[in-house]
């Protein structure tokens, strides 16, 4: 049944149906027009024959009557046939006119052949044309009759104007009918083909979009014929190309992660130990060799603090490499998010106060509790908070908003900084993308990775000159996916 329906909806079946409908419409029309034309010509031929019979009857009667031919014509020829009878002439054996529908012709000589034959040309009498108006559209009939008075030639000239007009009119009608049928077929073909031409045009435009690299669309043509099958195949091809592109992107990302992982391992061994030694040495110098003068001691402490800050920054860079370049291992515990936020604020409070930045916390519900890795969440919040503080060189405010529902916890981090440009906002979570001269672009990439490992989401909204808002949504419990990811990470490690 499905196969039969498919055949009925096919392009070929529709063409056959349209041709059948066109034939069903055009054949009767042409038949009717042709029949009317035939009837018209038959009618004219019948009238022409009647006119000839009437003319011959008049000419023959004039041989047996004393009345002149012109008078007999007036009396015997019907009014509707008089227009067809142009001329009637009777000659004797010497071709001299003895009677005529035009009395002026009597006595003139008409040169005729010895045997009378029909003459399609104009008749002449002593060189004169009998009827100058109709001679080009007339036919002459000549026959001989033997009477008691001798041999006579009877000449009848019949006009063919009406018959010629009927034939011409028939030709015009047939031509108009053929043109009309042709236009009907053309119109029907255009109307029928338009539903097929439009989808082909859409497919052509879609092919150009694919050639330009745009795969994020579907043709969306829903038909049950061959064009629909083609559109469906095209959409399947687009889906396959999108899947292939996603796989290529994931493979590229995996290759980059592997490279970063190897680089991170080298950095961890080659840089971290010297940094720890330098950090301990600075603490030793600060405690063993402080200047005696109070003013100099304060300056000495500030310098050492700046050096330790730079060392801490380098350590963060190393940690970013390590965290991004290797599989994460979540240490899931019951975590009070308010305490995590307070710990993060405590870490950066001095820096925030030095820059004139106020940090506050707002809670619309009791302290949210989640199953999470507290240290990794601290890393996420501190990355966002440090970026917010750096975006407010002239001071400002950062607000943490905590809320929860039955399924998830929401953390909003809102600052009043300079904001992020729209073109940068689209790439802010991409690895190695940074708007800072000293950044390597892994902080927010690591943050996003940590949130996703917890089966959460992170989004950002920003407006230049107004500020930025990060929204993090975490489930109360990451669930089986996070546990499976953790087990996979442990297996890799």
Which range, of 260-264, 457-461, 488-492, averages the lowest pLDDT? 488-492
Q: How confident is the model at residue 468 (pLDDT cuts 50, 70, 90)?
A: very high
333-361 residue pLDDT tens:
999 999 999 999 988 888 898 889 999 99
- Which of 75-89, 317-331, 363-377, 379-393 bottoms out in mean pLDDT, i.e. has the lowest? 317-331
Domains and CATH numbers, the chain: 1-213 (no CATH), 328-492 (3.30.565.10)
DSSP 8-state symbol, 218 = -
Structure tokens at 387: 């970026």
Do 458 and 448 meet the contact criterion of CB atoms below 8 Å apart?
A: yes
DSSP sequence for 383-435: HHHHHHHHT-TT-EEEEEEEEE-SSEEEEEEEE-SS---HHHHTTTTSTT--S
Helix or strand (DSSP H, E) at 11:
helix 11-64
Residue 15's contacts (CB-CB under 8 Å, 6 or more residues apart) are 192
59, with CB counted inside 10 A (0-12, 13-18, 19+), is: buried
pLDDT at 9: 56
- Yes or no: say if 56 and 154 are a contact pair by the CB < 8 Å rule: yes
- Return the pLDDT at 381: 93
- Helix (H, G, I), strand (E, B), or coil: what is residue 274? helix
C-alpha span between 232 and 384 (Å, rounded): 46
Q: What is the pLDDT of residue 451?
A: 93
Q: What is the pLDDT of residues 90-134, one digit of tens each?
A: 888 888 888 888 888 888 887 765 333 444 344 443 333 344 334
Q: Is the pLDDT of residue 269 over 80?
A: no
| Torsion sign over Cα 35, 40, 41, 43 | positive
Q: What is the pLDDT of residues 165-224, one digit of tens each?
A: 888 888 888 888 888 888 888 887 777 777 777 887 888 888 888 888 888 888 877 877
- Using one digit for the tens of pLDDT, what is the confidence trace for 354-408? 889 999 999 888 888 999 999 889 989 998 999 999 889 889 999 999 999 888 9
Phi, psi for residue 292 in degrees, rounded to 5: -75, -40
Q: Give the chain's end-to-end CA distance (angstroms, integer).
A: 59
Instruction: Find out whether 356 and 309 touch, Cβ atoms under 8 Å.
Output: no
- 356 secondary structure, DSSP code: T
- Cβ atoms 474, 408 nearer than 8 A: yes
DSSP secondary structure string for all residues of 159-206:
E-HHHHHHHHHHHHHHHHHHHHHHHHHHHHHHHHHHHHHHHHHHHHHH
Residue 489 confidence (pLDDT): 42
């Amino acid at each position: 049944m499905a196969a039969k329906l498919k055949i009925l909806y096919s392009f070929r079946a529709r063409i056959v149906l349209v041709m059948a409908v066109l034939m069903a419409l055009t054949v009767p029309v042409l038949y009717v027009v042709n029949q009317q034309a035939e009837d018209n010509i038959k009618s004219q031929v019948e009238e022409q024959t009647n006119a000839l019979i009437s003319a011959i009857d008049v000419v023959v009667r004039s041989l047996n009557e004393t009345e002149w031919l012109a008078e007999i014509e007036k009396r015997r020829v019907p009014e509707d046939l008089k227009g067809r009878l142009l001329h009637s002439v009777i000659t004797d054996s010497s071709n001299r006119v003895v009677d005529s529908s035009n009395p002026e012709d009597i006595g003139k000589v008409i040169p005729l052949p010895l045997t009378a034959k029909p003459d399609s040309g104009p008749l002449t009498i002593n060189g004169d044309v009998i009827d100058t108006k109709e001679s080009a559209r007339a036919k002459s009939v000549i026959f001989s009759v033997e009477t008691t008075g001798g041999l006579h030639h009877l000449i009848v000239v019949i006009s063919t104007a009406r018959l010629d007009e009927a034939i011409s009119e028939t030709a015009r009608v047939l031509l108009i009918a053929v043109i009309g049928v042709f236009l009907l077929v053309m119109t029907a073909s255009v109307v029928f083909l338009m539903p097929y031409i439009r989808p082909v045009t859409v497919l052509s435009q879609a092919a150009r979009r694919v050639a330009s690299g745009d795969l994020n669309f579907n043709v969306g043509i829903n038909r049950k014929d061959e064009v629909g099958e083609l559109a469906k195949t095209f959409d399947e091809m687009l889906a396959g190309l999108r899947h292939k592109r996603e796989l290529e992107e994931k493979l590229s990302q995996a290759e980059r992660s592997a490279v970063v992982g190897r680089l991170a391992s080298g950095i961890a061994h080659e840089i971290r130990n010297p940094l720890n030694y330098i950090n301990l040495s600075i603490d030793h110098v600060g405690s063993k060799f402080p200047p005696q003068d109070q003013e100099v001691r304060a300056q000495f402490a500030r310098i050492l603090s700046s050096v330790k800050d730079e060392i801490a920054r380098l350590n963060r860079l190393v940690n970013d490499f390590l965290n991004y370049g290797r599989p994460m291992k979540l240490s899931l515990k019951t975590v009070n998010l308010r305490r995590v936020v307070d710990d993060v604020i405590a870490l950066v409070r001095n820096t925030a106060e030095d820059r004139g930045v106020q940090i506050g916390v707002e809670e619309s519900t009791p302290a949210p509790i989640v199953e999470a890795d507290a240290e990794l969440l601290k890393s996420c919040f501190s990355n966002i908070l440090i970026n917010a503080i750096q975006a407010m060189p002239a001071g400002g405010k950062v607000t943490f908003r905590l809320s929860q529902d039955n399924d998830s916890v929401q953390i909003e981090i809102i600052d009043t900084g300079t904001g992020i440009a729209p073109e940068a906002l689209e790439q802010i979570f991409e690895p190695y993308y940074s708007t800072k001269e000293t950044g390597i672009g892994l902080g927010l990439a690591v943050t996003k990775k940590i949130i996703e490992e917890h089966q959460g989401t992170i989004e950002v909204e920003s407006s230049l000159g107004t500020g930025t808002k990060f929204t993090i949504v975490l489930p109360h419990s990451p669930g089986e996916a996070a546990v499976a990811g953790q087990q996979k990470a442990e297996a890799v490690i």
